[in-house]
Chains A and B, each alone.
Chain A
């Protein structure tokens, strides 16, 4: 699964720490999601979308091997 969390965060000029604080998660969590090493739960994906003013579908897309 690929995601556009880093781009979405950049668009709002948020640091990883600021986004992590907004969502009450650790900075490692944001970093791992952005690096594609961790796929968040539905709840966290929805919270991310809300915080970045985007839809979940815009933030997360399935890749060929996920289908």
Chain B
């Protein structure tokens, strides 16, 4: 079996912690304008490097911090090995990935056609995470379905 690049199974809880805390932070930032002052980057060499924020003039890294947390959390979650990783799980990963890519781009195509202006920006924000999210959900569904069939057999 060709080995996939996967995290060990034991790191999955860390992925959950990272993902869920980053989602809370991201939603708080996006809908309640919550930000950590410690992540202001208007000062010093960072401020010079990044310049002013295009929208607000005040550059704060809370949203970047949340986005990176969500992406890293999802990467750990979807690319951590099963307790017994084998070629069947690898085949299911491929099936789930193919399904997720199709759906991810279908959603994006619908959004390109149907959503305009500032709302499209929101779509793009969520779109950063949908591929990994759909892939993870589909893979878990396939594993759950197989376990259910096993119980019924």
- Spell out A's residues near B (CB within 8 Å): 20, 24-29, 31-32, 35, 38, 40-41, 43-44
Evaluate contact between A26 and B1: CB separation under 8 angstroms. no
Secondary structure at the B interface, as helix, strand, loop or mixed, is helix
Report the contact-size class of chain B (Cβ under 8 Å from the partner): 10 to 19
| Number of A-B contacts defined by CB within 8 Å | 38
Evaluate contact between A31 and B87: CB separation under 8 angstroms. no
Q: Bound state CA distance, A29 and B147, in angstroms?
A: 10
**What are 16 A-B pairs with beta-carbon distances under 8 A?**
A25-B84, A25-B86, A25-B88, A27-B150, A28-B143, A28-B150, A29-B87, A29-B88, A31-B146, A31-B149, A32-B146, A35-B149, A35-B153, A38-B88, A38-B91, A41-B1
A-contact 0/1 string along B69-87, CB 8 Å cutoff: 0000000000000111011
Least CB distance, B81 to chain A, in whole angstroms = 11
Provide the residues of chain A in CB contact with B146, threshold 8 Å: 28, 31-32
Provide the residues of chain B in CB contact with A40, threshold 8 Å: 87
B86 is contacted by which of A26, A31, A35 (Cβ under 8 Å)? Answer: A26
Residue of chain A at shortest CB distance from B91: A38
If A24-B84, A26-B82 touch, does A31 touch B89 (CB 8 Å cutoff)? no
Provide the residues of chain A in CB contact with B86, threshold 8 Å: 24-26, 29
